Amino acid sequence: MRLRWKWIVVAGVAVATAAAAYGELVLDIRTPHASLAEFHGITSTVAIRLGDYQEAMRKKYGPDADTILTNPPARATTSVGGKVVEEATPPSTFADARGVFVIGPRGHLESTFPFQINPRVAPTSGTTGQPSAQSLKNRFSNNFPAKYLQFDDHDVLTDRCITLSESDFGWLGTLLRFRSGAFCVVFWKGASPSSMLVGVALADGDPWMRPFARRMCRWITATALARVAATDHEPLPDYAACMLVDRPDRSGAAQTMQAHVYDVRRDATLAYVN
């Protein structure tokens, strides 16, 4: 009986430990929640690496192999002497994310933040109209209430951009196989002016990292926030958004991109916006 109770205690400790780890690393339960609401629309583009594919085909079929690209969908066709020898989907990589975040008090969302970010190269600070208001209206008019798309290019300014690399995260960067990231402060100059730090990060952490994306995005966002604060003496942005892409060179990477949004408190801590 004593041995049985011992095993019950051990099993109970194991369950409790697993539950605590799940709450800490997956749900990130200790992070406070903000009494705000948000919704967003995000789209992305991919870059076709036709040059790499063409080189591989010439190694396989000889120097006379010629590859052309047709789309949609993207399809690479390789011919030798006018005869098709291979057709395949060419390799691609995640290029950028673009879209819009809308955020504010529940029942009164009031700030709009369009963005277009290449995670490998920070946009030029002080730009307007990237992406253009019209392109966002064309893309999201069927998904967004019209009132949130009633702005023009001069209502938004992208400023204070920084890039991140593996070295910014120490052991965590190595564990994630962090590749690159870019974050910019976007200023909304319409009604109820405010600002949001928006960023995209790439990592090759394999599928295991996806359940932990929520916690990882908070770490990445906090690091970006500190970097931005160090480059400027302006007040901290009011909000922040992180988009994390797993293995950007694989097909379908954009579909697994996860976005997490935060309220930035005056002490630079982050609170989740549900």
- Report how far residue 82's alpha carbon sits from residue 223's, in angstroms, rounded to the nearest whole number: 54
Residues 6+ apart with CB under 8 A from 107: 37
Q: pLDDT at position 3, please? A: 57
58-88 per-position pLDDT tens digit: 888 888 888 888 776 777 888 888 888 888 8
Would you say residue 9 has pLDDT above 70? no
Q: What are phi and psi of 176, to 5 degrees?
A: -75, -15
Mean pLDDT in residue range 2-26: 43
Would you say residue 41 has pLDDT above 50? yes
Band (124; pLDDT cuts 50, 70, 90) = confident
Q: Which of 11-15, 20-24, 174-178, 204-208 has the highest mean pLDDT?
A: 174-178
HSE on the CB side for 96, CA within 13 Å? 14
Residues 6+ apart with CB under 8 A from 34: 262, 263, 271, 272, 273
Task: Characterise 104 by phi-psi region: left (phi > 0), alpha (psi -120 to 50), beta (else).
Answer: left
- Report how far residue 17's alpha carbon sits from residue 29's, in angstroms, rounded to the nearest whole number: 15
% of the chain with per-residue pLDDT over 70: 85
Mean pLDDT in residue range 119-134: 77
Q: pLDDT at position 18, please? A: 33
Burial of residue 197 (CB within 10 Å: 0-12, 13-18, 19+) is buried
- Report how far residue 202's alpha carbon sits from residue 206's, in angstroms, rounded to the nearest whole number: 11
Task: Characterise 37 by phi-psi region: left (phi > 0), alpha (psi -120 to 50), beta (else).
Answer: beta
Task: Characterise 273 by phi-psi region: left (phi > 0), alpha (psi -120 to 50), beta (else).
Answer: beta
188-234 per-position pLDDT tens digit: 988 788 999 999 999 887 766 767 788 889 999 999 999 988 876 77
How many helices (DSSP H) and strands (DSSP E) are in the chain?
5, 12
Mean pLDDT in residue range 5-27: 41
Q: pLDDT at position 190, please? A: 83
Using alpha carbons only, how large is the chain's radius of gyration in Å?
23
Q: pLDDT at position 20, please? A: 33
What is the amino acid identity at position 218?
A: R
Q: Which of 9-18, 31-40, 95-104, 210-219 has the highest mean pLDDT?
A: 95-104
What's the whole-model pTM score?
0.79
